[in-house]
Chain A
Amino acid sequence: MTLKRASDDIDRSEPAKKPTPDTTLHTALPATPLTTASANMDSDDEFNSSQVSDDEFMADQDSDVSIEDDSDFDIDQDDVGFESQDKDIKPTKQTYEVDFIVYSPDQIQGHQDKQVDEVSNILGQPPESTAILLRHERWNKERLIDHYMEKQEETLESAGLGETSTTNPPRLEHVKGFVCDICCEDGPDLDTFAMRCGHRFCVDCYKQYLYTKIKDEGEAARIRCPGDGCNRIVDHKSLDLLVSSDLQARYHELLMRTYVDDKENLRWCPAPNCVYAIQCGVRDKDLIRTVPTVRCDCSHFFCFGCSLNDHQPAPCALVRKWLKKCEDDSETANWISANTKECPKCHSTIEKNGGCNHMTCRKCRNEFCWMCMGVWSEHGTSWYNCNRFEEKSGHDARDAQARSRQSLERYLHYYNRFANHEQSAKLDKDIYLKTEKKMTQLQNTTGMSWIEVQFLDAASQALQQCRQTLKWTYAFAYYLARNNLTEIFEENQKDLEMAVENLSEMFEKPIDLLQGLKVEMMDKTSYCNKRRVILLNDTADNLQKGNWEFNVTL
């Protein structure tokens, strides 16, 4: 397998001018064009320079994660054998991105068939039996061939393919004096079944057992004999004899799932009803150094490590801890994420109706920040630190009670922001849908044809993705121990947050102004995306190098 280096790629610092994204490109970037920098962008230099170091860093990452001197990795890559397929592994674009390939069910089936054929030739077994043997060895063909060459009969036996079962096809029998140990029925006319292990049950019980395993428990490749303590696998000839054709179809579907489940470098897309699988070289042991977000062809972004929705920049282990904590503390935290708050000045109830955190009280016109309830005008200044929790003095900390209160406060600080971005993302989406609808209506009633909602769509997507990232930066920050790198992180977090709020605010403008704001909106969109890339590259780079210190062990 050859990986293209990032340096082989075109110069990415040049902004793309066409607003149509390349849909076949498998990168974690939103489908949003980069436009030229806007006037309020003070960080062009920063952005470009971070690009240069990214390219340098890419080489590191390649050798760390992808081209490891790790034999099982090589074998698996070889195993997968999709090299000749039409899809190539795309070059990694950014430090925080990983290489991956999306496969359709047909491609997965094709690959299984290819491996079965190959091994079938080596072992001299029919493809049908080879498939059972491969599944039995969890698709580790080297191990299978070794075992088979060493102890042929035993290998066949343990996979339910002993000599007799291949020459004498399985059949139902009537046995004199038989009593079924499951349902206690007896009688000379009772249809019974047993595999070679001799554990005999009535056919109804056998069928019911297989039905429960396949239908309820989703098992296929490793269903054991129903006999107490027996580990013999039910082979598929026996299964075909016993179960109905629709259950057989489900069984074969499950066998395919098993294939992907058994391969460490393959994973199903977790989106509901999605049928694609993703191949990625990142292994469990790599997950403390990288956050492998992949994008399925169904456009769902998820983490290859844990299958949860994209949770950059937080590593999987922190995500698990955080979600557990939120679950445990949900009652304490619930009230804080409630949808209404009081105006800090006049105490009238204010309901959040858009994703924007810049609130204006309808009654007293007080402008404040929804997250920290601080005065909004202070949010642009250098001493603004809405995103950072100020650790209290050591004096307080000595008091145990104060300590526990402070730890709760600290948690709530981060949780509040985490939940807020989650909530805001939903509100942003709502308001975008409403806006889009209103604009279409406007177009219909006035017959105007100037409406081009593409830029709104791009803005909305950027907001969704940036809020998703921001949300997880707060879980990340919660577990971060302060060192000289945290300040840069917090700066990046703050910059992204401000970029997001600026863009989010645009959606609250009157509809008829939006068309005139198109250029500004596109600039703000592109700026948001850039800030996100900068933040993620920084966190990913330091994660790779082991520079972050966490207050928990990963």
Chain B
Amino acid sequence: MSTGAKKRIMREYGECMSDTPPGMKITFDEQNMTEWEILLDGPEQSVYAGGHFKLKLTFPNEYPFKPPVVSFKTKIYHPNVSNDDKGSMCLGLLRPEEWKPPNKVVAVLRLIQTLLIEPNPDDAIEPSIANEYKENRKEFDKTAKDWVKRYAK
């Protein structure tokens, strides 16, 4: 990773610290600043309220010319998070075609928070969950809340 990239990550970290979006805690290892751990509270107005989600944010070597990679370490029932051990996300800013180098991590974190409040079933990574979200909202809400109880307490 270039010194320019490291410099930028440090700078972004500073910005995130001074202006952390509410409901979020960011930590990282001094030895390896390319991996951030994020603790995210499920937003009050969402089905994920009361849950605490652990996320990993990884900066690729080409950062900021390529987007950071986000994965949920805590299992979550959500159309935009892959329902496997990776818990990966790939939409909006997080897609290489969409990401622009001036974009900042803080925008990514805000995007994730927004998605917890309002999932985007039209750009889903889990089509069956997206379908349930659209067609059978009650069932979706039930499972999502159930998973919060089981995995995110």
Residues of A within 8 A of B (CB): 181-185, 201, 204-205, 208-209, 212, 216-217, 224, 226-230
Partner among B62, B96, B102 whose Cβ is within 8 Å of the Cβ of A182? B102
Please determine whether A184 and B100 come into contact, CB atoms closer than 8 angstroms.
Answer: no
Q: Which residues of A sit under 8 angstroms from B4, Cβ to Cβ? A: 183, 185, 204
* 5 residue pairs from A and B, CB less than 8 Å apart: A182-B64, A184-B7, A226-B102, A227-B100, A229-B100
With A and B bound together, what is the CA distance between A204 and B101 in angstroms? 12
Please determine whether B101 and A184 come into contact, CB atoms closer than 8 angstroms.
Answer: no
Against A, the Cβ 8 Å flags (1 = close, 0 = not) of B99-125 are 011110000000000000000000000
Given contacts A226-B101, A226-B102, contact A208 B7 (CB under 8 A): no
Is B8's beta carbon under 8 Å from chain A? yes
Partner among A185, A209, A229 whose Cβ is within 8 Å of the Cβ of B101? A209
A182, A184, A204, A217, most chain B CB atoms within 10 A = A182
Q: Which residues of B sit under 8 angstroms from A216, Cβ to Cβ? A: 62, 66
Against A, the Cβ 8 Å flags (1 = close, 0 = not) of B8-34 are 100100000000000000000000000
Q: Which residues of A sit under 8 angstroms from B151, Cβ to Cβ? A: none
Least CB separation from A225: chain B residue: B100
Other A-B contacts than A182-B64, A226-B101, A228-B103, 19 sampled, CB-CB below 8 A, are: A181-B102, A182-B101, A182-B102, A183-B4, A183-B7, A183-B8, A184-B7, A201-B101, A205-B101, A208-B65, A212-B62, A212-B65, A217-B97, A226-B100, A227-B100, A227-B102, A228-B100, A229-B100, A230-B100
Q: Which residues of B sit under 8 angstroms from A205, Cβ to Cβ? A: 101
Please determine whether B96 and A184 come into contact, CB atoms closer than 8 angstroms.
Answer: no
For the complex formed, measure the closest distance between the CB of B50 and the CB atoms of chain A, giving whole angstroms: 34
How many interface residues does chain B have, given as a range? 10 to 19
B96, B101, B103, most chain A CB atoms within 10 A = B101
Least CB separation from B65: chain A residue: A212
Q: Which residues of B sit under 8 angstroms from A212, Cβ to Cβ? A: 62, 65-66
- The 7 tightest CB contacts between A and B, nearest first, are A212-B65, A181-B102, A182-B101, A183-B4, A228-B102, A228-B100, A226-B101
With A and B bound together, what is the CA distance between A185 and B102 in angstroms? 13
With A and B bound together, what is the CA distance between A182 and B65 in angstroms? 9
Q: Which residues of A sit under 8 angstroms from B64, Cβ to Cβ? A: 182
Q: Is the interface of A mostly helix, strand, loop or mixed?
A: loop
With A and B bound together, what is the CA distance between A224 and B66 in angstroms? 14
Least CB separation from B5: chain A residue: A183
Q: Which residues of A sit under 8 angstroms from B66, Cβ to Cβ? A: 212, 216
Least CB separation from B11: chain A residue: A184
Given contacts A227-B100, A228-B100, contact A184 B8 (CB under 8 A): yes
Q: Which residues of B sit under 8 angstroms from A201, Cβ to Cβ? A: 101-102
With A and B bound together, what is the CA distance between A229 and B93 in angstroms? 10
Please determine whether A217 and B96 come into contact, CB atoms closer than 8 angstroms.
Answer: yes
With A and B bound together, what is the CA distance between A270 and B132 in angstroms? 38
Please determine whether B102 and A209 come into contact, CB atoms closer than 8 angstroms.
Answer: no
For the complex formed, measure the closest distance between the CB of B31 and the CB atoms of chain A, giving whole angstroms: 23
Least CB separation from B4: chain A residue: A183
Least CB separation from B103: chain A residue: A228
With A and B bound together, what is the CA distance between A205 and B11 in angstroms? 17
Q: Which residues of A sit under 8 angstroms from B62, Cβ to Cβ? A: 212, 216
Q: Which residues of A sit under 8 angstroms from B101, Cβ to Cβ? A: 182, 201, 205, 209, 226
With A and B bound together, what is the CA distance between A204 and B100 in angstroms? 15
With A and B bound together, what is the CA distance between A212 and B65 in angstroms? 7
With A and B bound together, what is the CA distance between A182 and B102 in angstroms? 5
With A and B bound together, what is the CA distance between A185 and B8 in angstroms? 10
Please determine whether B8 and A209 come into contact, CB atoms closer than 8 angstroms.
Answer: no
For the complex formed, measure the closest distance between the CB of B16 and the CB atoms of chain A, giving whole angstroms: 15
Q: Which residues of B sit under 8 angstroms from A217, Cβ to Cβ? A: 96-97
Q: Which residues of B sit under 8 angstroms from A224, Cβ to Cβ? A: 100
Which B residues between 51 and 76 are near A, CB-CB below 8 angstroms? Answer: 62, 64-66
For the complex formed, measure the closest distance between the CB of B1 and the CB atoms of chain A, giving whole angstroms: 13
Against A, the Cβ 8 Å flags (1 = close, 0 = not) of B75-111 are 0000000000000000000001100111100000000
With A and B bound together, what is the CA distance between A246 and B11 in angstroms? 34
With A and B bound together, what is the CA distance between A204 and B8 in angstroms? 14
With A and B bound together, what is the CA distance between A258 and B124 in angstroms? 27
With A and B bound together, what is the CA distance between A182 and B97 in angstroms? 17
Partner among A185, A209, A228, A230 whose Cβ is within 8 Å of the Cβ of B65? A209
With A and B bound together, what is the CA distance between A355 and B103 in angstroms? 57
B7, B11, B64, most chain A CB atoms within 10 A = B64
With A and B bound together, what is the CA distance between A357 and B102 in angstroms? 62
With A and B bound together, what is the CA distance between A204 and B65 in angstroms? 12
With A and B bound together, what is the CA distance between A205 and B4 in angstroms? 10
For the complex formed, measure the closest distance between the CB of B104 and the CB atoms of chain A, giving whole angstroms: 9
Least CB separation from A183: chain B residue: B4
Q: Which residues of A sit under 8 angstroms from B8, Cβ to Cβ? A: 182-184
With A and B bound together, what is the CA distance between A201 and B62 in angstroms? 17
Q: Which residues of B sit under 8 angstroms from A226, Cβ to Cβ? A: 100-102
Q: Which residues of B sit under 8 angstroms from A182, Cβ to Cβ? A: 8, 64, 101-102
With A and B bound together, what is the CA distance between A229 and B100 in angstroms? 8
Least CB separation from A208: chain B residue: B65
Least CB separation from A212: chain B residue: B65
